[in-house]
Copies of this chain bind each other. A is one copy, B any other.
């Protein structure tokens, strides 16, 4: 698709990783309405308080990111280093440091190698280009196997408005949020409070409904920048609001799916659909229990129709679940009225062989529906995570 107007990108190798790119930069040619949502973990990466501070004005011009080191649990030094990253970037781009946001991802509890970072930022600034998205996506990867990008556009009063999202995330994926970073840029013209409402809405329905390992990260962040360069009128609270929100939701959904698909060691995406919940929040609780059950995840990896494990996971929410629930895999009904029924094992097996396995849970207790994504649990997950720092 055509480029989002007025944004440049780069990704360079600064030596934090052995070979791959590890410092990335996004730069807007003009002031952009900016907002971000961050992890709810008590122990937050140092980039979070610094970015929060710089987001107070509601606008920004650039985001500097490094991978391979999360800059988390590094105390005062961590904060100073994150701040320094914005200062170096600002100086080179002739901005105020408050115009620069920052993000880090990688190992926790190791100080940032600031010399390498500084070298990396210089290189990143001098490499900025319209076509730098792929380099940027590589630069933010940790255990990711593939780059993650999603884009869309819509026409509004004669102009095309474009949205591009780039993300990383593979492990420590769990709502609120995960070691995932997402960066969304758009050339829409849009007020901060509208942007904020839309991002929260979309994140809650996408990035907050995925899990790889049930482990909440210290660094997760979703950033959005809107620089208004499309030339179209301002997005307001009328029809354009919903046009933009739908487009943003599509981007967030797409990136969320990509993150789970590239989940550490994953061979399958598991799509859990909870139907007829009494509330969205309870539907999400049910979905999460299933999504984070190692027994469900291993059974699906093994394409093993051991579906009692699904209901065992749901049953841990004992007080609030009806006994007569239904569970099906694809269209194959496995559990009817809380009881395993005779089902066509061959057809069930076929459903399990797919890249995306659908588990549908009918709680029969209301009319809310919730979708949640997770990956299967494989030997490779264990291999990746038992050897990550050493």
Contacts and interface: CB of A to CB of B under 8 A. Distances in A.
Contacts of A183: none
A218 B172 contact: no
Contact of A382 (B72, B313, B315, B381): B381
A293 to B, nearest CB: 6
Contacts of A216: 312-313, 315-316
A37 to B, nearest CB: 15
Given A42-B318, A315-B218, A308 B382 contact: no
Contact of A308 (B72, B386, B387): B72
A321 B41 CA distance: 10
Main secondary structure of the interface of A (DSSP, over half): loop
A386 B312 contact: no
A339 B382 contact: no
A387 B295 CA distance: 11
Interface string A289-315: 000111100110111111111011111
Interface residues of A, number: 65
Contact of A215 (B42, B72, B110, B313): B313
Find the residue from A294, A301, A303, A381 having the highest chain B CB count within 10 A.
A294
Nearest to A179: B312
A342 B317 CA distance: 42
Contacts of A172: 295, 312
B385 A73 contact: no
